[in-house]
Structure 1
Amino acid sequence: MISNPEEGKLVFCDGSVWHRLQCLRGFGEWIDSIVEFSANLQRMNLDVSTFSCICTLALLTERHGLKEPKRVEDLQNNVVRCLKDNGTAGPDGGGPNHWSNHLSKLLEKLPELRTLCIQGLQRIFYLKLEDLVPPPAVIDKLFLDTLPF
């Protein structure tokens, strides 16, 4: 999602443009947290591979009922290694020390991103309970797979 806060417009990956007020009905105040997080990431000038790694790390979390948590941990370590290898020159050519600093700041964003994901799942659960909006099948499956019961 790309936002234009001055105009209150949000551009989604499918190209649709919604005004913030249109999003509030479905997303609630959560949309403001998403816009703020998105703006923070945009200021970090991430390249596609770095952004992809951060998204992957957000998805690779220990969940209730994991049969092989060690494999998840190994995968997380591999993704972090890829991030380190990708950024030896840094996002703006600042050198390895600059990249190490940048990487630390980036990894500090993960808990916030995971919290936003949980809030999104809660919002989807609410919409599903109220039968307001049927979630896409992939989101529905993800939601059901994360339930601890």
Structure 2
Amino acid sequence: MDKVVFCNGAVLHKTQCVPSFGDWIHSILKFSQALHRMKLDVSSVSCLAALVVITDRHGLKDPGHVETLQNQLITCLKDHVSGCGSDSLQPNYLSKLLGKLPELRSLCTQGLQRIFYLKLQNIVPPPEIVEKLFMDTLPF
């Protein structure tokens, strides 16, 4: 996997991403290959992403509500993978999938740090969604 496809349709070679992403790009590609080997569908990836976005963050006003939401997402993910094809029926598939969360959270934190650095250097403004969700609550 030498190419990165962005949400806007832009396709870049991984070496073109290094100036903006730094070595973080290699970790992203390694992680995405691991997810690809697990043959995740869009619904599973969406649940994982939601679990990372709602994770305990600095300044949360109602952590109990967040925990309830996390449990609901995990239940949805469990129900979804149990109703999917043969790959999701492998022993411990859900555990393996949930086991990816710490690495995904770490990658997200590294990404936020990178965005914060780029913002401080006045190189690039953060994407609007990142600005809305994270920039006011960042502990760094």
Query: TM-score normalised to the size of structure 1?
Result: 0.85
Please give the secondary structure, in 1, of the residue aligned with 2:82: coil
Give the partner amino acid of 1:110. L
Distance 1:20 1:129 in 2: 24
Count of matched residue positions in the alignment of Structure 1 and Structure 2: 140
1:138 corresponds to: 129
1:121 corresponds to: 112
Q: C-alpha displacement at 1:27, in angstroms?
A: 0.5
Please give the secondary structure, in 2, of the residue aligned with 1:146: coil
Change in 2 beyond 3 A, CA 1:148/1:94: closer
Distance 1:110 1:94 in 2: 17
Give the partner amino acid of 1:117. C
Distance 2:132 2:88 in 1: 42
Query: TM-score normalised to the size of structure 2?
Result: 0.90
Which runs of structure 2 are paired with 1:1-149 in the superposition (5 Å)? 5=1, 8-92=2-86, 95=89, 98=90, 101-148=92-139
Distance 1:93 1:39 in 2: 16
Distance 1:55 1:135 in 2: 19
- Same amino acid, percent of matched pairs: 57
RMSD: 1.8
Distance 1:118 1:34 in 2: 12
Distance 2:72 2:134 in 1: 26
Give the partner amino acid of 2:74. V
Determine which structure has greater relative contact order: mean sequence separation of CA pairs < 8 Å that are 6+ residues apart, divided by chain length.
2
CA contact (8 A) 2:88 2:94 kept: no
Structure 1 unaligned segments of length 5 or more: list them.
Answer: none
Distance 1:93 1:139 in 2: 33
Distance 1:32 1:72 in 2: 31
Q: C-alpha displacement at 1:79, in angstroms?
A: 0.6
CA contact (8 A) 2:78 2:94 kept: yes
Please give the secondary structure, in 2, of the residue aligned with 1:26: helix
Q: Which has the larger radius of gyration?
A: 1
Q: C-alpha displacement at 1:32, in angstroms?
A: 0.5
Q: C-alpha displacement at 1:63, in angstroms?
A: 1.3
